[in-house]
Amino acid sequence: MREFLRQKKAYYGTVSIATVDYASPVYIADETTPRVMVRPWDCQRKGYVDQNLVQRWKSVPIPDYAQPADGTDSEMTVYSPGTDTIWEFWVTRRTGGAWEACWGGRMDNASRNPGIWPRPYGTTATGLPFLGGQLSLDELMRKKIDHVMGIALVDTEKASVVSWPANRSDGTNAQNDRDRIPEGLRFRLDPAVDVDGLKMHPVGKAIARAAQTYGFVVWDKAGAIGLRAENPKGATTRNLPDPYVTIFGGTPAYAILEGFPWDRLQFLPKDYGKP
């Protein structure tokens, strides 16, 4: 708890919600969506491309209007309910009309998947999919979130220490500072907190209720502590209004969680719930 509050104070004093940069748009595909090849490209200069991704990205249903997220990670998610398939892309771009991505994966039988990419695939540092841990537009509209929420911290334990459900980590702790939080660790808001009595934005209260029931999982690192919500490009690229104008009602994303009782968090043991 002390370590979490230290990071919150040290990095901007708030917990924000990413919606445009470092938040993945979700594009829903059906049988009419054109299928294209997504070429892996070596943005990290490894000297090779993953041949498994070459095979799994040969035919991806991507709407013509699709665009990746802003920010250096340029994430993008495609979901096909009809085939029960998810594609995730990281550092995505369209070059000369052709799609390319540096990393990601394809998840078959997604509705029966435990929500963990096989190592080393997926776009988060922990192998946990965006579609499972970020806040969807529909959930925020309804103000009801029925799943664990991914949260990014700034300082995490070294990569060799990982808590389930994460299967990898990009954490660093060169000085071996005590009480660093490992990626994959889960925690919740104390269920005894009276959320209705909190002075918070209605969306913030919905997040607090979900935090009591389902909690958070550390799934990535970032420049500040934050959650991720579905990128509005899934709507705006179709010339629809930005849904966050209605959802947030003019409140900045960094202020939605003002009033959240972060000092009432309860951290769970390492590997909690591991089968």
pLDDT band at 173 (very low <50, low <70, confident <90, very high): very high
Query: Is 88 inside a domain boundary?
Result: yes
**What pLDDT sits at residue 219?**
98
| Domain final position from 96, 122, 148 | 122
- Cα-Cα-Cα-Cα dihedral of 61, 66, 71, 74, to 10°? 10
pLDDT band at 45 (very low <50, low <70, confident <90, very high): very high
| Domain final position from 64, 98, 122 | 122
**What pLDDT sits at residue 262?**
98
Query: Is 46 inside a domain boundary?
Result: yes
**What pLDDT sits at residue 156?**
98
**What pLDDT sits at residue 55?**
97
Q: Which amino acid is at 241?
A: P
| Domain final position from 122, 139, 174 | 122
- For residues 254 and 168, membership in a common domain is answered with yes
Token pair recorded at residue 119: 């190592």
- For residues 264 and 189, membership in a common domain is answered with yes
- For residues 197 and 246, membership in a common domain is answered with yes
> What does pTM read for this prediction?
0.94
Q: Domain range holding 196?
A: 1-20+131-269
Burial level of 268, CB count in 10 A (0-12/13-18/19+)? Answer: middle
Closest CA to 80 of 114, 31, 113, 38: 31
- For residues 172 and 235, membership in a common domain is answered with yes
pLDDT in tens, 6-19: 999 999 999 999 99
- For residues 4 and 140, membership in a common domain is answered with yes
DSSP secondary structure string for all residues of 17-79: EESSBT---EEE--TTSPEE-EEE--TT--SS--HHHHHHTSSEE--TT--PPBSTT--EEEE
**What pLDDT sits at residue 251?**
97
Q: How many domains does the chain have?
A: 2
| Alpha-carbon gap, residue 148 to 137, rounded angstroms | 16
DSSP, res 2? H
- For residues 14 and 29, membership in a common domain is answered with no
- For residues 16 and 34, membership in a common domain is answered with no
DSSP secondary structure string for all residues of 109-164: SGGGS-S-PPTT-SSSTTS--HHHHSBPHHHHHHT---S-EEEEESS---TT-B-T
- For residues 3 and 137, membership in a common domain is answered with yes
| Alpha-carbon gap, residue 68 to 231, rounded angstroms | 9
Contacts with 148 (C-beta within 8 Å, 6 or more apart), sequence order = 132, 133, 186, 214, 215, 216, 217
Query: Is 136 inside a domain boundary?
Result: yes
Say whether 204 sits in a helix, a strand or coil.
helix
Residues 205-214: what's their mean pLDDT? Answer: 98
DSSP secondary structure string for all residues of 82-98: TTTEEEEEEEEEEETTE
Lowest mean pLDDT: which of 41-50, 181-190, 206-215? 41-50
Query: Is 275 inside a domain boundary?
Result: no
Say whether 167 sits in a helix, a strand or coil.
coil
Residues 63-70: what's their mean pLDDT? Answer: 96
Say whether 100 sits in a helix, a strand or coil.
strand
- For residues 170 and 105, membership in a common domain is answered with no
Token pair recorded at residue 157: 């334990």
HSE, CB side, 13 Å, CA atoms: give it for residue 138. Answer: 3
Residues 154-163: what's their mean pLDDT? Answer: 97
